[in-house]
Amino acid sequence: MTFKDFINYDKFPPLWCGGCGIIIAMNQVAKVFDEMNFSKDNVSVVSGIGCTGRAAGYFALDSVHTCHGRAVAVAEGLKRGNNDMNVLVFSGDGDLLGIGLQHLIHTARRGVDMTVVCVNNNIYAMTGGQLAPTSCKGKVTVTSPHGSDCEPIDVFNLLKGIKGVFYARTSSAHLDHMKEVISKGIKHKGFSFVEIRTHCFTNDGAQLGLKNGGEVAKALKEEYVVKDSVGDDKDLGVYDND
Ligand SMILES: Cc1ncc(C[n+]2csc(CCOP(=O)(O)OP(=O)(O)O)c2C)c(N)n1
Ligand SMILES: [Mg+2]
């Protein structure tokens, strides 16, 4: 098998814009599945709703495309009913950290052995670029024309307080780092969360001055620094609260 066997090319071309960080992240996940010698029978992907949430249908394995915000809850049920199954959630910031936040916190608290991959573009991309709970203070979007007046949710610090949780932050421009931390997350015994920072050049590009995937990658390389552990919000690295 190769990583391509985990991707459903029958459905290509995919719905994502060319050069979008979501498909880059999906590819890295498929590469990790291959490196870990997973078969189509022992790994399953669960997604919620959104551009990122559409990934479930593009993995060539048994996957679940759930309702908005419910991916982690469905994934926990899947894991509890099939203990030998490797369960990976692949969804967006709005889905996991907005409408679905309660599931995330409680599944993490229960220490369920699964991995959540969150593609964080700081907005609701699929619906046209509205303000998300991850959008930074001052952010101008279609629903915050005068700029957001509140701080974003800080998922790292929320999860950091939960015993046994593995957290990693990476970016869609740091390919080797992304693969490395996804692999570490899956190998972690217990709950793991991998946050992949990116930007949506289609819905947010005008605000950020980014026109395509190449410009997004360049911006992310300038914005983020790979470190051993996560300290600052612009650090890419790992935090293991074992
Ligand atoms: C219950 C419910 N509320 C709202 C929506 C509309 N909706 C669809 S996708 C989405 C936001 C998704 O944002 P995110 O998870 O960040 O995904 P992205 O598109 O940015 O990858 C919203 C609010 C919905 N489908 N269902
Ligand atoms: Mg989003």
Average pLDDT of span 73-99: 98
The pTM assigned to this predicted structure is 0.98
Ligand 1: residue whose CA is nearest its atom 12: 50
- Which residues form the pocket of ligand 1, taking CB atoms under 6 Å from any ligand atom? 49-52, 68, 92-95, 119, 121, 123-127, 132
What pLDDT was estimated at residue 38?
Answer: 98
Helix (H, G, I), strand (E, B) or coil at 148: coil
pLDDT confidence of residue 241: 83
CATH number of 3-240: 3.40.50.970
Reported as a single tens digit per residue, the pLDDT across 4-32 is 999 999 999 999 999 999 999 999 999 99
pLDDT, tens only, 127-161 = 999 999 999 999 999 999 999 999 999 999 999 99
Q: How far is CA 83 from CA 48, 72, 189, 221, in A?
A: 22, 16, 12, 38
pLDDT tier at 242, thresholds 50, 70, 90 = confident
CA 240 / ligand 1 centre spacing (Å): 29
Upper half-sphere CA count for residue 150 (Cβ side, 13 Å) = 7
Domain boundaries, the chain: 3-240
Strands 115-120 and 86-92: parallel
Report which residue type is found at 156.
F
